[in-house]
Amino acid sequence: MSLPVITVCETYGTGRCEVIVEDGRVKGVRGRGCTLGRSSRFVYFIINDEVLHVSQLPGSRVVKAHGNEVCWEVPANVIAGKIGFEVSFTRRHSEPIITLFKVREGITESNELNKVIEPVNINENDLVKYVWDGKFRFRYFGNEGAYDKLYLDMVLRLIDEFRNNLNQCGLKWSIKGDVASSIVENPALEYLHAMIFPFENSRLNAFYQRITKSYELWVLSKVIRALCDAGGKPLDDKASIYERWLYLPVITFSFGNKCVHILYQADIVTHVAKIVDIEKNPCIPRWIPECLSRCGVSWSRVHTAPDIMLMMTNCGEKVELECYAPFRAPITWQYFEKIPLIIETKLRISKIRGSGVLSEYETLSVAIKQACMYKCLLRDRPRIAVIVHDSVNDNVKSDLMKAGATVIDELRPGNEARVNELLNIIRGSLGI
């Protein structure tokens, strides 16, 4: 007589997805239009205070793998009486929905998971607290532990200093954006959200996204603090930070009859322009595609959203920045004469992607292209400052300088010398 098993089914992404299974483990998802964070459903169990994905349970085996669905059979005695949780994503909701349950004890027959579960007396907030405090620990799939530690070491300090910089300027703040706002409000929740993906690479990318976002916000707060300390008078007591699409200044400072607007991730030209005939697009001035052609840069690879832009105008001068990119072309490029400084932030820069370098945006080639494109799109007017958390070797610095960028590396909490370099660049660019 065979021992009872529990069937646990998961869904990986939406679109034309095909799950790749090797040795009873999901190794990845491929196919056209696949998005892991949409219509996905993952299942975890807590065994001896360790959080295990269903694939990591002793004795689990794949019994079905078709399209974007995978089903495992798990020995009933392994999960009977244990707490588990389901992570689900919807098409419309970018944040995961976490549902906790308990597997019934005394299971004598094989069954599907949903038929042997019952309510449990802990909720998502409890789970977040237990994971954050280390009571529950996720089992790694690979080498994600390095970024796990990096998140814990960096994010809290960066966010604390972000808050302090704005508080010392007497400013309130609001953040519109799923990841950015949640990191500031609840870094423990974002830690959990990074760990709930059942792949090493997905976890690494989630941690990377959250760490880079924290660093961006920290640098942004240093820029705000620099203008405040330089004698700028904020026109509002609130810094409003928007993650893309809405191009309102984060805050505006007045210096006599001049106003300085801080823009965060505002497109210079719309990304929609990449998929239309640029020769016939009235929103795109002719000199932009001509300039890009001279630089040998494909329009499909144009990077149009600097992390931070400073714009200087006469106070009272009408500047039309508010727009939603998918529906209306950004007009930031029209103000090229009024943009003296662009700041691009990086955790690190390497000549090649490899160990520790997860994104193409951390490669030298892309950093050079960004600097060249910003110069091109804004008619060679702004100074480009590339701010890097880690150290950068001299050859990389030299190559970026040839592209017209100033590099400040090792700019991080505690390195006041580097922070002062940034402040001097800001003041020098603005003439304040």
What pLDDT, on a 0 to 100 scale, did the predictor assign at position 380?
A: 84
What pLDDT, on a 0 to 100 scale, did the predictor assign at position 131?
A: 96
> Does residue 186 sit in the same domain as residue 98?
no
Q: What is the CATH number of the domain that holds 164?
A: 3.40.91
What pLDDT, on a 0 to 100 scale, did the predictor assign at position 335?
A: 80
What pLDDT, on a 0 to 100 scale, did the predictor assign at position 31?
A: 60
> Does residue 85 sit in the same domain as residue 170?
no
Residue that finishes a domain, picked among 122, 138, 154: 138
What pLDDT, on a 0 to 100 scale, did the predictor assign at position 158?
A: 96
Residue that finishes a domain, picked among 138, 164, 190: 138
> Does residue 350 sit in the same domain as residue 395?
yes
* Per-residue tens of pLDDT for the chain, all 432 residues: 478 999 999 988 776 667 777 776 776 666 665 566 667 899 999 999 999 999 999 999 988 888 788 899 999 999 999 999 999 987 665 678 999 999 999 999 999 999 999 999 999 999 999 999 999 999 999 989 989 999 999 999 999 999 999 999 999 999 887 778 889 999 999 999 999 998 888 899 999 999 999 999 999 999 999 999 999 999 999 999 986 656 788 999 999 999 999 999 887 776 544 544 555 556 666 666 676 676 666 655 566 789 999 999 999 887 766 554 444 455 677 788 899 999 999 999 988 776 566 788 888 988 988 888 888 878 888 999 999 999 999 999 999 999 899 999 999 999 999 999 999 999 999 998
> Does residue 255 sit in the same domain as residue 400?
yes
> Does residue 376 sit in the same domain as residue 235?
yes
> Does residue 227 sit in the same domain as residue 333?
yes
* Antiparallel, parallel or unpaired: β 50-53 and 137-138: parallel
> Does residue 304 sit in the same domain as residue 270?
yes
Structural domain including 89 reads 5-138
Count of domains for the chain: 2
What pLDDT, on a 0 to 100 scale, did the predictor assign at position 222?
A: 97
> Does residue 290 sit in the same domain as residue 328?
yes
Residue that finishes a domain, picked among 93, 113, 138: 138
> Does residue 58 sit in the same domain as residue 155?
no
> Does residue 227 sit in the same domain as residue 328?
yes
> Does residue 161 sit in the same domain as residue 296?
yes
> Does residue 129 sit in the same domain as residue 160?
no
